[in-house]
Amino acid sequence: MDFKSYINDRKRQVDQALERYLAEDRGFPEKLNKAVYYSVAAGGKRVRPILAIASAEAVGGSIDDVLPLAAALEMIHTFSLIHDDLPAMDDDDLRRGIPTNHAVYGEAMAILAGDALLAEAFYCITRLMNRSGVRPEVVVDVIKDVAMATGPRGMVGGQVLDLDAEGKNISLEELEKIHRHKTGWLLTVSVTAGAKVCGASPEQLAALRRYGEAIGLAFQVADDILDVEGNEDELGKPIGSDEANEKATFPAVIGLKASKERALRLVEEAHAAVKGFDDRAEPLREIARYIIERRS
Ligand code: IPE
Ligand code: IPE
Ligand code: MG
Ligand code: MG
Ligand code: MG
């Protein structure tokens, strides 16, 4: 399997869908529209949408079945990045290789651009309704899953734990809790929701959840490592931001070497979880490896 062209092809289709959905007239004031578009169009790896698509494909679905969900996940993720970079949070000035949203449009517009993307994401998921074969109760179930992973129980709650832990010595257990909430759950849901839309069985969903939980944590471990060892040009965001903010990270709590070993073990766990799947799960296997080997 040519993983590079697989990723590039899915990424292109996600980018086109995002452009289409966001370009439609929703009555956004023009300056809000510009601020929203600025961060979405800046790029990013599109890992969450690609996971939703790869998971759909692993259970026999297709990209067309899940495109609105895939785009919605990227909208939520982009909202979380815009807010994460704000002066009141991580106070970063570079994201996706360009100045952060608030640095260009001001804090008020950056907050509102994030708010807009969050609400627009849930509207976007309802577009699944127009797809043949997706039952309304499945769409409601997916909305519930994505809301739980995003809100106080998930990413937003995790961001609070992350801020609370600044400057503190915390245990590995507490650190994992932060990471599973602020980052892991949305990645897990990208995998499970993608498969749910395509009619996955309870057994398939349970296996995909285990895969998603493993890569979800691995993703943030790799992010923490890249903040120490990465290259700003490749990464498109500042290096050393975590140390400057005295963040609780894997390298800070268990050291770089143990962090890398943990990341490797998590990828093995992810692979073991989808052992029973056929060749159609090959992209999921490749993505798990990519998550810890990436340079950006
Ligand atoms: C960065 O996410 C923030 C985390 C949740 C760790 P990504 O590494 O997916 O960022 P983009 O979307 O590629 O810019
Ligand atoms: C981000 O964690 C979690 C989010 C929900 C955005 P980080 O603060 O480590 O993400 P980066 O390193 O700024 O992308
Ligand atoms: Mg942060
Ligand atoms: Mg940050
Ligand atoms: Mg980080």
User: Collapsing DSSP states into helix, strand and coil, what is residue 99?
Assistant: strand
For residue 201, the CA-to-ligand 2 centroid distance in Å is: 33
Q: Which ligand is nearest to the Cα of residue 96, counting in written order?
A: 1
Nearest CA, atom 8, ligand 2: 84
What are the 10-residue block averages of pLDDT along the chain, 296 residues in total? 96 97 81 95 97 98 97 99 98 98 98 97 95 92 98 98 98 98 98 98 98 98 98 98 98 98 98 98 98 97
What are the counts of helices (DSSP H) followed by strands (DSSP E) for the chain?
Answer: 16, 2
- Ligand 1 pocket test: pick from 45, 117, 220, 232 the residue with the most ligand atoms within 8 Å of its Cβ: 45
* pLDDT recorded at residue 195: 98
Nearest CA, atom 14, ligand 1: 44
* pLDDT recorded at residue 24: 74
What is the Cα–Cα distance from 190 to 140, expressed in whole angstroms?
Answer: 15
Q: Taking the model in full, what pTM does it have? A: 0.98
The dihedral through the CA atoms of 97, 183, 52, 291 has a sign that is: positive
> Does residue 100 line the site of ligand 1, with CB under 6 A?
no
Q: How many CA atoms lie within 13 A of 128 on its CB side?
A: 30
What is the Cα–Cα distance from 139 to 193, expressed in whole angstroms?
Answer: 9
CA distance readout (Å), 274 to 46, 72, 208, 266: 22, 25, 7, 13
